[in-house]
Amino acid sequence: LEIETWKDYTQLLQECSLAIVKRPGSELEKINKVIYKIKPGLVVKLNKQGKSEIKDSGRPGLYLIDIEALDISSSEIRQRLRAGQPVTGLVPPGVENYIMENHLYY
C-alpha cells in the first residue's frame, strides 16, 4: 500500500472513497495499520461477498475488501497488453472489451 506516494492523496481521500483489495501474500493487519495511520476511523471491513458489515455512512472512506485476488498487478496487465498477450480472465469482460475497443495500452 503506497498511497502516501500519490500526488494529493489527502485531498483524494477527502473527496472520494477507495476500495483496497488484499493482494496474495499481504497481511490484513499490516494494511490496517497503514490505513489507520493515513486516515484513522475510515476502514470498513467487508465480507468475502463484498457486502459491508456495517452501514455505509455516505462519507468518503477506505474500504478494505478481503477476497481471494489474482496474483497479478495492473502494471503486469498493461505489460501483457503492450506485448500483444491476452488478458482474458485477468480483468472483467467489460473492461477487456473497453480496452480493446479503445486501443488502450498498445
Mean pLDDT of the chain: 77
Residues 61-92 have pLDDT tens digits of 677 776 776 778 889 999 999 999 999 999 98
34 and 76 together in one domain: no
* Residues 1, 39 contacting (CB under 8 angstroms): no
Residues 29-69 have pLDDT tens digits of 677 677 777 766 655 565 566 555 545 566 676 777 767 76
59 and 81 together in one domain: no
7 and 58 together in one domain: yes
- Cell readout for 18 is 477507495
13 and 46 together in one domain: yes
Q: How much is the pTM?
A: 0.45
12: Cα separation from own chain's centroid: 14
8 and 60 together in one domain: yes
pLDDT for residue 13 is more than 90? no
61 and 94 together in one domain: no
76 and 61 together in one domain: no
The amino acid occupying position 80 is: R
pLDDT at residue number 39? 67
pLDDT for residue 28 is more than 80? no
